Amino acid sequence: MEPQDLIRMARNTLRTQGEKARKSILMLSDEDVNWRPNDDSNAIANLVLHIAGHLHQRVGSLIGGAPDRRDRDAEFEDRRPRTREELVQILDDAVSEADRVLAEMDPAQLDRQVEVRGRTQTLADIVFFAATHTSEHVGQIIYIAKLKLGAGFGTLSTPRRR
């Protein structure tokens, strides 16, 4: 595998996962995207804030050089009601920023080391983790959407044979 292949795969994953999250969010009501099963769980609104914060910090800042404005704890503590449209915009902006930065990234930089929360990681680690971390939380968004919509959710991929 060539270094640019990792970047290409991460960009594809982020765009695909962003679209799955977007479609799931738009199926729901504003009430649904703010719902949480209990006080210790995240609402879709928190998951979107977290995905956006993560992508901006890791890709936008560490790779792209933008100022790091992240407050990770606030992503989870935020309880302000959000609209579906607001969340989709936050998500779209985050995925677009990450895609732009990765499109401009020199694959030769993937071996460069950076400090992240007390650990040394390569930019290859950052790129890979950005894609997998986003996928993990998009799976949670989809699961919540399925809980709220039941059979009305349908599918985001190949439907099952019945």
The reply to whether the predicted model has a pTM over 0.85 is yes
Q: For residue 22, what are the contacts with CB-CB under 8 A and spacing of at least 6?
A: 88, 91, 92
- pLDDT tens digits, residue range 40-58? 999 999 999 999 999 999 9
Adjacent-strand bridge partners of 113: 122
Domains and CATH numbers, the chain: 3-153 (1.20.120.450)
Over the stretch 3-12, which tens digit does the pLDDT of each residue have?
899 999 999 9
Residue 12: CB atoms within 10 A of its CB come to 12
Q: Token digits for 43?
A: 């609402």
Q: What is the DSSP letter of 150?
A: G
